[in-house]
Structure formats: structure tokens, C-alpha cells
């Protein structure tokens, strides 16, 4: 595992992983392969592009020829697949690209890995389990029951990866991550949206009653979890990565507002997301058995993330004042007007 192809390495979790991995494994070489969609930003790795150990190939994971040539040119021995369309609300507005990237794109990576006999680690999500009943915590062996176009595309990819292990004996591993928070998360997702709105003194749009439950895990702990699986995990296996704890969205909003010293009067309950999953929660004992444990509990993770947005306005202000505006209007103008 000296020559890594990190797909989606300019996105939120991918860029955190690249920074973490190169810090821990300076002998490695990393090629980031990224289409640079709205969510993929070169500046997420601005401090590292001069490193001789890091390079960027701009391309689509659905491009079989370019993925294959890149893997051959760089003698890749491990593909870590973060590349995806990732936002549930965007998948409700425009679902087809989710199938193109998340399903077909992952399938192309599997074909290249099969052809060149490369290990592949796939980043999946707790959303593949669907929303789950109180008290249950999803186990890796649970059936997948996705309920949004995003989750369905991720479940299809997850199952294709497992099918390649069974059918072709491809050396694969999968991690299913909880909701991540931390530096460089695009402000369409709840925690960075709420933090940046709070800093700007704008309304905080909480869907429905705000009692949905999520495990807000710090992205650092996701990176260490992936590392644990890459170094010590059993090939062919799936591992959940989260804290195993959860909170309601209203509790998350309270932490964001208190951390930033902003008024709770900013909260607005708006029309709910269609098919909104009520609760995600995963059992993470299998990953813990590899010697991994999270550094942050969800409360600390959300507070740390909110602080990062207060301290890094230069990163998000250009995003919020640019292309993001049109999406924000489409998603929230009518909802907020009704409150």
C-alpha cells in the first residue's frame, strides 16, 4: 500500500484522509483522482500540492480508459474510493447523476481493479441500512434498506463491491461511515450550513420537528477508522465507522449556536425533506476489535466543526457567495417564506 489512488480526494472526507494519510505514512505516494464537481475543491489540499508525494488527475471515475491509464502510470496498488455525489437533498432534486457516479463510477473502478489486480477500499455510508427502529444499532450483517436516491445508489455500489469479492476474489474492504463533520465540509450539509448561517445571523432551517437522530462523527475518526481497516482489517469484510452515540438534530443545532454564541431565535422549523430518514445508528464493535477508538464524541465533534467555520471564513465565504446561492434559493426560499 505504497501507491494510492484516492478518488474524490478533493472533497470533504477525501481531502481530510489524504492529509491524514500522508502525515502518518510519508513514504506513500498519493494520486488524487477527482472530477472537481462543485463539492471537489483543489484548495482543500492547498498546503500539500507542492509535496512530491501528491499529485492530481482531474477526471471522472466513470472514465474506464483514464482510470486504467492513471493506475498503470502510477503503479497504483490501492484504490480508496471516496468519489461520489453525496447530498440527499441534491439527490431528490436531480437523482440521475447519483447513479452515474455512485453506481457506474464505482463499477468502473472495480473493473480496473480486477484487470490490474489492485486492492480496492470503498467508502460506504450508514444510510444504506435505511432508517432504523429505536434501540437497534445497525450491524454489518444487516440487510440494506436504502430510502433515498443517494442511499440507494450507495447501497448498489456497496453490493457491487461485495459481488466482486465473491465472484472474482477481488481484494476489497468496505467502511460504512456515520454522518461526518469537520474541516472543509461543503456548506450544503446540515452542520456547516447551520454554522455558516449562524455566523452570518441567518435563519437555521430545521426540517420537520428536528427530532431525527444522527451519529455526528468527527472526520478525523473516520480517517483513523479507514486506516485501521486498511492496515489490520480482514480482506472481504465490511466495517461500520461512527461513535455508536447519537443526538437529535435539535440538540446538534443547540451545540452549534452555543459554540458560536448565537441566538436560538434563529431556528425555523421548515417543511420536511421527503422520505426523511428518522434515525441512523451503528454498532461499531467490529472496528473497535481492530484496536480503533474514536477520539471525539458527537458533542465535541459538532462543537469542533462549528469552531472551524468561525475560524475559516476565507474558505467558505467565496462558496456561499457564488454558485451555492442558486441551490440555496431553490431548496430554502419557499420553505423559509412559510415560517
Q: Annotated catalytic sites, by residue?
A: 126-127, 150
Q: How far apart are CA 279 and CA 35, in angstroms?
A: 32
Q: Is 214 in the site for ligand NAD (CB under 6 A)?
A: no
Q: Alpha-carbon torsion 293, 298, 299, 301, what sign?
A: positive
Task: List the one residue out of 172, 169, 157, 26 whose CA is nearest residue 103.
Answer: 157
* Cell digits of residue 174: 468496505
Partners of 125 in the beta sheet? 177
Q: Between 59 and 88, how does the x/- string for binding to ligand TYD read (CB under 6 A)? A: -----------------------------x
Task: List the one residue out of 107, 83, 97 whose CA is nearest residue 18.
Answer: 83
Q: Is 214 in the site for ligand TYD (CB under 6 A)?
A: yes
For residues 127 and 246, which CB has a smaller minimum distance to ligand TYD in the complex?
127
For residues 169 and 275, which CB has a smaller minimum distance to ligand TYD in the complex?
275
Residue 246's Cβ-side half-sphere holds a number of Cα atoms within 13 Å equal to 24
Q: How far apart are CA 3 and CA 151, in angstroms?
A: 30
Q: How far apart are CA 264 and CA 299, in angstroms?
A: 17
Task: List the one residue out of 338, 337, 335, 328 whose CA is nearest residue 87.
Answer: 328
Q: Is 179 in the site for ligand TYD (CB under 6 A)?
A: yes
Instruction: Provide CB contacts within 8 A for 42, sequence distance 6+.
Output: 10, 36, 49, 56
* Cell digits of residue 311: 475560524
For residues 267 and 282, which CB has a smaller minimum distance to ligand NAD in the complex?
282
**Shortest Cβ 34–ligand NAD spacing (Å):** 5
For residues 120 and 266, which CB has a smaller minimum distance to ligand NAD in the complex?
120
37 binds, options ligand TYD, ligand NAD, none, Cβ within 5 to 8 A by partner type:
ligand NAD
Q: Is 196 in the site for ligand NAD (CB under 6 A)?
A: no
Q: Between 55 and 94, how does the x/- string for binding to ligand NAD read (CB under 6 A)? A: -----xxx-------------------xxxxx--------
249 binds, options ligand NAD, ligand TYD, none, Cβ within 5 to 8 A by partner type:
ligand TYD
Among 4, 5, 8, 224, indicate the residue that binds ligand NAD (CB under 6 A): 8
User: Which residues make up the interface to ligand TYD (CB under 6 A)?
Assistant: 88-89, 127, 179, 189-190, 193, 205-207, 212, 214, 249
Amino acid at each position: 500500500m505504497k501507491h494510492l489512488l484516492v478518488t474524490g480526494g478533493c472533497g470533504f472526507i477525501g481531502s481530510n484522509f489524504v492529509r491524514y494519510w500522508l502525515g502518518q505514512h510519508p513514504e506513500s505516494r498519493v494520486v488524487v483522482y477527482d472530477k472537481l464537481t462543485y463539492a471537489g475543491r483543489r484548495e482543500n489540499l492547498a498546503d500539500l500540492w507542492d509535496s512530491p508525494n501528491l499529485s492530481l488527475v482531474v477526471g471522472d471515475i466513470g472514465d474506464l480508459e483514464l482510470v486504467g491509464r492513471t493506475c498503470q502510470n502510477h503503479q497504483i496498488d490501492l484504490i480508496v474510493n471516496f468519489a461520489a455525489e453525496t447530498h440527499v437533498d441534491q439527490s431528490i432534486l436531480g437523482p440521475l447523476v447519483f447513479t452515474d457516479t455512485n453506481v457506474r463510477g464505482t463499477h468502473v473502478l472495480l473493473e480496473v481493479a480486477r484487470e490490474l489486480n489492485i486492492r480496492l477500499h470503498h467508502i460506504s455510508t450508514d444510510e444504506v441500512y435505511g432508517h432504523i427502529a429505536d434501540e437497534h444499532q445497525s450491524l454489518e450483517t444487516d440487510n440494506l434498506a436504502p430510502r433515498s436516491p443517494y442511499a440507494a445508489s450507495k447501497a448498489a455500489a456497496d453490493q457491487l463491491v461485495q459481488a466482486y469479492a465473491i465472484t472474482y476474489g477481488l481484494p476489497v474492504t468496505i467502511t460504512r461511515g456515520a454522518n461526518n463533520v469537520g474541516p472543509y465540509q461543503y456548506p450544503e450539509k446540515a452542520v456547516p450550513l447551520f454554522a455558516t448561517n449562524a455566523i452570518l445571523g441567518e435563519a437555521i432551517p430545521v426540517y420537520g420537528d428536528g427530532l431525527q437522530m444522527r451519529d455526528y462523527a468527527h472526520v478525523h475518526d473516520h480517517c483513523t477508522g479507514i486506516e485501521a481497516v486498511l492496515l489490520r482489517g480482514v480482506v472481504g469484510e465490511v466495517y461500520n465507522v461512527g461513535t455508536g452515540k447519537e443526538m437529535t438534530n435539535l440538540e446538534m443545532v443547540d451545540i452549534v449556536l452555543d459554540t458560536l454564541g448565537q441566538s436560538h431565535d434563529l431556528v425555523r422549523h421548515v417543511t420536511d425533506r421527503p422520505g426523511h430518514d428518522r434515525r441512523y445508528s451503528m454498532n461499531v464493535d467490529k472496528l473497535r476489535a481492530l484496536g480503533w477508538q474514536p477520539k471525539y464524541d458527537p458533542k465535541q465533534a459538532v462543537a469542533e466543526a462549528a469552531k472551524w467555520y468561525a475560524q475559516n471564513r476565507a474558505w467558505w465565504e467565496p462558496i456561499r457567495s457564488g454558485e451555492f446561492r442558486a441551490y440555496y434559493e431553490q431548496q430554502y426560499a419557499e420553505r423559509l417564506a412559510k415560517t
